[in-house]
Amino acid sequence: MLLAREELKELMKNKFMAAGLHADDADKTAEVLTWASERGLHSHGEVRVEYYSERISKGGITVDPNWTWEQTGPCSGMLDGDNGCGYPFAIKGLEYAMDLAKENGIGIVGVRRVSHTGALGYYTEMAAKNDLCLLTMCQSDPMVIPFGGAEPFYGTNPIAFGAPTADERFVNFDMATTVQAWGKILDARSAGRSIPDTWAVDKDGCPVTDPHKVNALVAIAGPKGYGLMMVVDILSGVLLGVPAGKHVSSMYHDLSEGRNLGHIHICIDPSRFCGLQEFKTHMSEVLDELGAVKPGPGSDKVYYPGERALLRKAKADAAGGIEVVDDIYEYLKSDKLYINSWDHKNRFAE
Ligand code: NAI
């Protein structure tokens, strides 16, 4: 089903409002999900609406949060979301971080005690469009072995970086620190396919090719990805005083409880370093140079991080909307808040 951007957004917004979210929060949440879907990141788009709606309706997302903001230094601050909806708080935290960066050159804001904040590229794009660089990262629930281990300890802990250029392009590097998302394991299960032995391990920590035997995912690049995953957990978890490592709450365990997740924005104003115009011009040159690199075997060209997502968005724009699977469209149109309860679903779904 091809849905116009605004139609999809409106359907999602209405569902969140029916679940109890206030209009402004529902609007911001639906906007980030639409942003992800139109860039082909469906894992962080409309597919999440049913789960969020169930969690909101069961009280696991506070709809009237008693949130607080404290500027803790010239360049730093903490936003406590009282387990309110993650998206509006991640946006609010970024607004504070951008203000601090414009005032002082750098702004670091910890967003603590919030629910899921989705595809991080939304926030890095927002900063880049405001002529700022942003490094942003957050926790997610434990489903990844620490290097050399046999049990899940860290989450897929995503990290993203965005930077402006002198033209309409911007760098948007945005990734989970795991080789593959759990969704890819589910795809292989449903298609009856095996998986490469580099994606996941069984209950003894041994690499598996049978997707039904997967007990945990693995970090990118062995011990290096494991270290990076730990950095994400320290900066967005331990530093912000929220549960960290294997103590991070599960997305699907108890939908009536707040998740207490952490997310950190580290915002840099290029004008305080080499100068904004020099930075942007240089960035454009770097992207031009990358695009001119001779393609290697099997590659049509060298893309900069974020370029392919923008091409997918251009394709969606040209097609007049976003392709949404029929089941999800039927659910979005229905008056049901949720059809299949997410309670007790597999812990790996994030
Ligand atoms: P991915 O593997 O699709 O892309 C990772 C990065 O590689 C992107 O910056 C992309 O632009 C770049 N890239 C991909 N192919 C490329 C190519 N051929 N040439 C140049 N660059 C290329 O992303 P992943 O790891 O699957 O993450 C998907 C989304 O899930 C992200 O938005 C992430 O923030 C989100 N996520 C959110 C979580 C949360 O708890 N909030 C947890 C895990 C992921």
Cβ–ligand 1 contact at 251 (below 6 Å) = no
Q: Which domains does the chain have, with CATH numbers?
A: 2-178+219-274+315-333 (3.30.1370.60), 182-218 (3.30.60.50)
Whole-number Å distance, alpha carbon 159 to ligand 1 midpoint, is: 9
Cβ–Cβ < 8 Å for 200, 185? yes
Pocket probe mutation, ligand 1, options 48, 174, 178, max atoms within 8 Å of Cβ: 174
Given the residues 44, 116, 263, 265, the one annotated as active site: 116
Q: Please list, residue by residue across 175-198, b when 16 or more beta carbons sit within 10 angstroms of its beta carbon and e when fewer do.
A: ebbbbbbbebbeebeeeeeebeee
Q: Based on the residue annotation, tell me whether 116 is a catalytic residue of this protein.
A: yes
Cβ–ligand 1 contact at 349 (below 6 Å) = no
Question: Residue 348: what pLDDT?
Answer: 54
Amino acid at 260: N
* Pairing of the two strands 322-323 and 2-3: antiparallel
Whole-number Å distance, alpha carbon 333 to ligand 1 midpoint, is: 29
Question: Residue 350: what pLDDT?
Answer: 45
Instruction: Say how many C-beta atoms besides its own lie within 10 A of residue 220's C-beta.
Output: 16
Which ligand 1 atom minimizes the distance to the CA of 117? 41
Angstrom distance (rounded) from CA 147 to CA 23: 43
Query: For the segment 12-50, what is each residue's pLDDT rounded down to a tens digit?
Result: 999 999 999 999 999 999 999 999 999 999 889 998 999
**Does the global pTM surpass 0.95?**
yes
Q: What is the 3-state secondary structure (H, E, C) of the chain?
A: CEECHHHHHHHHHHHHHHHCCCHHHHHHHHHHHHHHHHCCCHHHCHHHHHHHHHHHHHCCCECCCCCEEEEEECCEEEEEEEEECHHHHHHHHHHHHHHHHHHHCEEEEEEEEECCCCCCHHHHHHHHHCCCEEEEEECCCCCECCCCCCCCCECCCCEEEEEECCCCCEEEEEECCECCCHHHHHHHHHHCCCCCCCCEECCCCCECCCHHHCCEECECCHHHHHHHHHHHHHHHCHHHCCCCHHHCCCCCCCCCCCCCEEEEEEEECHHHCCCHHHHHHHHHHHHHHHHCCCCCCCCCCCCCCCHHHHHHHHHHHHHCCEECCHHHHHHHHCCCCCCCCCCCCCHHHC
- Strand order across the 133-138 sheet: 68-73, 76-84, 106-114, 261-268, 133-138, 159-164, 170-175
Structure tokens at 122: 């939304």
Q: Please list, residue by residue across 13-42, b when 16 or more beta carbons sit within 10 angstroms of its beta carbon and e when fewer do.
A: bbbbbebbbeeebbbbbbbbbbbbbbbbbb
Cβ–ligand 1 contact at 309 (below 6 Å) = yes
Whole-number Å distance, alpha carbon 93 to ligand 1 midpoint, is: 22
Question: Residue 345: what pLDDT?
Answer: 64
pLDDT along the chain (350 residues), means of 10: 97 98 98 97 90 96 98 98 98 98 98 97 98 98 96 97 98 96 78 93 96 95 98 98 97 92 99 98 98 98 98 97 93 93 61
Measuring from atom 9 of ligand 1, which residue has the nearest CA? Answer: 173
